[in-house]
Amino acid sequence: MRIPVSLIAVSSVLMACTSDVATDYNQAANYSLFKTYQFAPFKSDNVTTLDGGRVQDAIASELYQKGLTKVPSGADLTVRHAIIEQSDYKSYGTSFGFGYGYQNWGLAYSAPTDFKEYRYGKLVVELIDNANKQIVWRAISNKKLTESMSPTARRQFIDGQVHEMFKDYPPGQVSTNNNNSGY
């Protein structure tokens, strides 16, 4: 079976139009005033996870490239991040059904399909203006961090998603290829 080249080209264009991340931001904020950042503290009973450390490393790298400096306290911005656990259900197995209908009366039967829970994480990063305690910028990954990824794949995934998140930061100094969306 041959797939026409035009179908492959159209599919590639459509896939390129979808954004890996969605961002939202305060249009009134003066992003040029933000020069320093600090990470939001973890709760005393909460230990930084392996992925949490990977996320912080990736964010620190991106903010460094944007000219922001990490400070221990008194920063212009607080960076808060999380991996929000979500799940989907996928059906598998054979489904069988039959039915009979006549005018307004019918009878149908369908064998049940098995379902499997598929767990994943969605990365969220928020920048909080410490002067007024308001979120001024937020990004969320549209791709899924799965449990089955290797440590190397997790690092690459997180680095790639954080890079995409900060690609057009600060807002207002970006290319026209910005796929911002509201929530």
Q: Give residue for tokens 């460094």.
A: 64
DSSP string, 13-46: HHHHHS-SEEEEE-TT--GGG--EEEEPPPPTT-
Going 31 to 36 to 42 to 48, the CA torsion angle's sign is: positive
Q: For residue 22, which of 145, 150, 123 has the smallest C-alpha distance?
A: 123
What is the Cα Rg of the chain in Å?
23
Residue 173: C-alpha distances to residues 10, 61, 76, 169 (Å) = 31, 19, 19, 7
Instruction: Name, in order, each residue with C-beta under 8 angstroms of 88's C-beta and a sequence gap of 6 or more.
Output: 117, 118, 120
Average pLDDT over residues 104-122: 66
At 97, the pLDDT band (50, 70, 90 cuts) reads: low
* pTM for the model: 0.69
Q: For residue 145, which of 115, 127, 123, 173 has the smallest C-alpha distance?
A: 123
Task: Report d(CA 26, CA 24) in Å as an integer.
Answer: 7
At 172, the pLDDT band (50, 70, 90 cuts) reads: confident
| pLDDT higher than 50, residue 183 | no
pLDDT in tens, 28-79: 999 999 999 999 986 655 556 788 889 999 999 999 999 999 999 999 999 9
Q: What is the pLDDT of residue 109?
A: 59
Task: Report d(CA 51, CA 124) in Å as an integer.
Answer: 13
Residue 71: C-alpha distances to residues 48, 138, 168 (Å) = 19, 21, 23
| pLDDT higher than 50, residue 89 | yes
Q: What percent of the chain has pLDDT over 90?
A: 48
Which one-letter DSSP state was computed for residue 49?
P
More confident residue, 149 or 99: 149
Average pLDDT, the chain: 78
| pLDDT higher than 90, residue 18 | no
At 96, the pLDDT band (50, 70, 90 cuts) reads: low
